[in-house]
Amino acid sequence: MCCPVAEITQAISMPDTNPCWRLVSGHERELVIGPDACCYRALYGYVVRIDTVPVLAVRAQREAGLVGP
């Protein structure tokens, strides 16, 4: 099974330790999770005032139209 829930949960729980993230806009970042063939992307932010990282969306890279068939 590609990218099991445990792998996604682990990557999201420590996003800044994963080198595969990029700044999307403003305070939002995108985290790349898993190998190329079955990669997922998580969009998240950071709320300094309450020291919290809200996950805004998680979707398959194929769903985002970023890989071929």
Distance (Å, rounded) from C-alpha 21 to C-alpha 32? Answer: 6
HSE of 44, CA atoms in CB hemisphere, 13 A: 21
How do beta strands 55-60 and 28-33 pair? unpaired
Is this structure's pTM higher than 0.85?
Answer: no
Token pair, residue 12, equals: 């999201």
For residue range 5-31, list pLDDT tens digits in order: 777 777 777 766 767 778 888 778 888
Element (H, E) at 32: strand 28-33
65 falls in which pLDDT band (50, 70, 90)?
A: low
